Amino acid sequence: METSEAYLERKRDEIRLLNNSLTTPLTLKDPRSPSEFVRQKFRLTAALKAEHVLGDWTATETDWAGAQHRSGPFEFTYDYQRADLDVRGPSFYELNGTHETVYTGSGMAAIAALLFALARLIDHADVVLPPGAYGETQELIEGYARHLTLTTRDRPLAETSALGSLCRMLWIDSSSPDSSFEAAIHRGNSPFDLVIFDTTCLCASSGRVRRVAEWAERENLPLVLVRSHTKLDSLGAEYGRLGSVVFICDKSGCRAPKSRFENLPTEMRNALRLFGGAPLPAHFPPYVGTTAYRELTRKRMAAIIRNSRRSSRYLATSLPGLTAELRFSHGLYVTLQGARPLSESTARKAAAAMSDDLGRAGLPIRHAGSFGFDFAATEWFREPATGRYFVRISVPDLHTALWDDLTRAIAEWWTAHEGRQGEA
């Protein structure tokens, strides 16, 4: 359990890190509640982005000043930002060895550009996408990547060796169940030619990221990491829309000859240029890369996962028949169901009503479609495998006693408003 005193000191450390990233730090009152921390944090991130824009006002799309531009430890050079933005700076990941990073304007922009880059290198490939993978990834592949064929999602991994394609790809998704993740990396003599790992729901320093990298190295498999940095990499403030694709290099380098994927980084940049998916320099958090940032991020994620486990246990016993999935492998959220099946519309309305009612009672909860905040966030949720709709509660970084109080309030509200439908 984390005490309120330890929580407050940790939040003050986050505020100090953000404030000290400003050229002229703001004079701030000492915050004493989660809502005050949230307001200060979002104010500071707005000030950091404004400072970047004011300081780099000559950095137009054509870069007419011809100067080098920065955001904290990140350096940017380009002639035409959308076409050839070059970024140099620290990695969000903590990986051994060398790797090559291409930044994008969002996580989905990273996935889309990668998929279309692959079309330049292969005629066709089978892609094993595990159950529970991010729904929009599946939608993108099925609707727009005709060079890729999704295999049956419930097909055992051992059967992939019988697939008919000359190229086979494994997609590992951080939102998939533990069983899918473990099945992927506990096999030898892998039948795959390329592994793509969406790490968005994991801390960038997660041991699972390292395990996949080590497994791919043992199997001599090309590995690509895709990520949205908006959610977990900005201390809960959603600093800016930012995504990336990281190509993990083997001993021969990221552009190893005689590999069908040796030109993948180049094709990725071309696709990004043509789709206009480059990131904005102002969206790179200037506090990334420091020891303090990495330590505070790890502590935030540990608190969220602890809170998730506590709420899962409580909701399982207090809401019999009214919970959906409570134990996602990433530990970032839980899902609730009604006494009767929810539609997208009814799930959306229930999420908004619950957050509004509990928020008016002074509890740190809001209607928001993301996760990793310093407040609980409610939103509708579609389960990819079944198509059913639920209400998702994103677990926040709060001290233990306050989160326990909020969990009880959520259970009481859900019983009163969604559980009573079964009485009709």
What is the predicted pLDDT for the residue at 268? 95
Integer CA distances (angstroms), 421 to 57, 160, 250, 345, 424, in order = 57, 44, 57, 16, 6
* 61 found inside a domain: no
Same domain, 234 and 279: yes
Q: pLDDT per position in the chain (424 positions), as tens? A: 899 999 999 999 999 999 999 999 999 999 989 999 999 999 999 999 999 888 887 777 666 666 678 899 999 988 777 778 889 999 999 887 778 999 999 999 999 999 999 999 999 999 998 887 888 999 999 999 999 998 854 554 445 444 556 799 999 999 887 777 777 777 666 788 999 999 999 999 999 999 999 999 888 889 999 999 999 999 999 899 999 999 997 666 666 555 789 899 999 999 999 999 999 888 999 999 899 999 999 999 999 999 999 999 999 999 999 999 998 889 999 999 999 999 999 999 999 999 999 999 999 999 999 999 999 999 999 988 788 999 999 999 999 999 999 999 999 999 999 976 544 3
What is the predicted pLDDT for the residue at 223? 94
Contacts (Cβ under 8 Å, ≥6 apart) of 179: none
Residue with tokens 């609707």: 143
What is the predicted pLDDT for the residue at 251? 62
What is the rounded CA–CA span in Å between residue 221 and residue 211?
13
* 290 found inside a domain: no
* 414 found inside a domain: yes
Beta-strand runs (E) in 337-403:
365-367, 376-382, 389-394
Same domain, 259 and 188: yes
What is the predicted pLDDT for the residue at 366? 96
Q: Find, among 233, 262, 232, 185, the residue nearest to 394 by Cα.
A: 232
Residue with tokens 């740190």: 364
Same domain, 355 and 236: no
Contact assessment for residue 270 and residue 357, using Cβ atoms and an 8 Å cutoff? no
Same domain, 276 and 322: no
Can you tell me whether residue 372 is helix, strand or coil? coil
Same domain, 93 and 226: yes
Q: Find, among 7, 45, 14, the residue nearest to 296 by Cα.
A: 14
- Domain boundary at 236, 253, 283, which? 283
pTM: 0.91
> Any idea what the Cα angle at residue 407 is, between residues 406 and 409, rounded to 5°?
65
- Domain boundary at 254, 283, 312, which? 283
Same domain, 279 and 346: no
82: which DSSP letter?
H
Same domain, 257 and 338: no
- Domain boundary at 283, 308, 343, which? 283
CB atoms within 10 A of CB 130: 21
Same domain, 263 and 301: no
* 62 found inside a domain: no
Same domain, 312 and 411: yes
Token pair in block for residue 120 = 């330049």
Contacts (Cβ under 8 Å, ≥6 apart) of 82: 61, 273, 276, 278
* 316 found inside a domain: yes
What is the predicted pLDDT for the residue at 22? 96
Output the domain CATH number for residue 194. 3.40.640.10
What is the rounded CA–CA span in Å between residue 310 and residue 49?
36
Q: State the maximum Cα–Cα separation within the chain, in Å, rounded to a whole number.
A: 70
Same domain, 249 and 382: no
What is the predicted pLDDT for the residue at 97? 76
Same domain, 151 and 260: yes
Can you tell me whether residue 75 is helix, strand or coil? strand
The burial class, CB within 10 Å (0-12 / 13-18 / 19+), for 262 is middle
What is the predicted pLDDT for the residue at 152? 53
The total of structural domains in the chain comes to 3
Token pair in block for residue 129 = 């996408």
Domain range spanning residue 42? Answer: 4-55
